[in-house]
Structure 1
Amino acid sequence: MNEQQIVEMFMSYIQNERNYSENTRLAYHDDILDFQTFLNQQHILNYQDVDYLSIRLYLTELKRENYSRSSISRKISSLRSFYNFMLREEIVENNPFTSVSHAKNHLRLPKFFYNEEMEALFQVVYEDDEALTVRDRAILELLYGTGIRVSESADIRVGDIEQTYQAILIRGKGNKERYVPFGSFLEDAMATYFTKSRHMLMAKYQKNHDFLLINHYGDPLTPRGIRYILTKIIEKAALTRKIHPHMLRHTFATDLLNNGADMRTVQELLGHASLSSTQIYTHVTKEHLKATYAKHHPRA
């Protein structure tokens, strides 16, 4: 079995057994091919001959080429997974990447909207009952009320909404499905959206599809279109600091934790495969507590 066949086996594995997204599979493939190019340059004939010293030489080469810390860490992670697969398939006898680590960049805390900023955003979408304003209201209530990704919201069909149980079926990364509950604010916003916006626009332009969110012509909204709408809402609210629509998801998680939700529940709601992805929000809540203490305690 040659190197190309081994890589093809691994790509099939992460697609069919691990159900990784297309972008993730491409990243893995590129990382492995980059490493293969390095091995060829070093006249290392097969994966079994790779040892700790050759890996250190590879990392030195990556640094010389000015790869960022996060990029190098991702390559190490990709190659460690690749070698674990080969170890499982008995192609190699050990995984030389097991003992290799690389420091990532300093932790960047997710940014979120403060309460007064969220109030300013909602004021924009509740100022009238025009068709597009009602649509924008539904989008804002949906993203803040469920914490789903913009890309996930664009994929929602009308049939995915379970009115009886007040939950929405969400298709997340890697085509993994989860149900996310919603509250009365989103329920009311959706009811108004259907009667005063979606039905009217689709009838006007004679459109017939099952996607929940639509543009002003009645066609399904793309993730890019939703981000554009959110950006316009943010601009209209006259928020001054640099902000991004994905901050709604960060705000959802931060508000839950600040109000007593447990980490596992937040992980499930966000659709994180690993708890470590969710734990970054504990740093945000700790910073929030520290700032509140410093502001209000007389001995701070």
Structure 2
Amino acid sequence: MTIGTVLVGCGNMGYAMLAGWLKAGRLAAAEIFVVEPSTELRDRAAALGVATGASPAEIPANAAPRLVILAVKPQVIREVTAEYRRFADGGTVFLSIAAGTPIATFEAVLGAATPVVRCMPNTPAAIGMGMMVVFANRQVPAAELGFVKDLLATSGAVAEIADESLMDAVTAVSGSGPAYVFHFIECLTAAGEAAGLPAETAKLLAMQTVLGAASLAAGSSEEPATLRRQVTSPNGTTAAALAVLMGGDRLKNLVAEAVEAARARSVELGK
């Protein structure tokens, strides 16, 4: 068996990305080896047709993968990464989706000459609607970075940053962002109920409105601010609501404060 890709960790994010790669035909099941200590998660991966093992010791001795994907929690990333030093010869690219773990950590464990790509995905990647932001060290060849970005594109949109320090801002905006939207849906639902709507109706209205508005904005050539103005009639109901949300830049300042809190925490966790 020729191993082209090793996936380390097959929890919810790892599994979702693996399933997307196979479905899109970006990777062949016969060329993938998944390392996952959990029997349940390992069996789930095996059902996709890939080879699996409980530890890196089970990877064929002659394996020379093009890509090793580290999809484990940040708390264990250093010790897990160390188990794959045998692939750190410069010919294998390491891709990490561990939040808050800088490239320097991998270079310290694997060697400064190791090609490493750091990725910050978010949870909508599980349904192919994620936002993946990458940063690569200088050792990653352009062709290999292109391969990685094409792979990640099966899970959503992909952007690249040239300054790794911006990954804290990325974490604060798109990494944590889905939770902000979920909370907004919660709040809009509760407001609908307070206005007299049945609970299930209020929830449906809130979710579909957020989904529809985001889809409209994503598919439009107009800026969100233009779309907002287009739907806001002078002295109408929307204008009355926006006077509350936008008065004194209330919502703008609140969101900025929230994002800065998340960014600052990301900086702390990365130390």
State the TM-score, normalized to the length of structure 1.
0.27
Bigger RCO of structures 1 and 2 (CA < 8 A, at least 6 apart):
1
| Structure (1/2) with the larger helix percentage | 1
When Rg is computed on C-alpha atoms for both structures, the one with the higher figure is 1
| Structure (1/2) with the larger strand percentage | 2
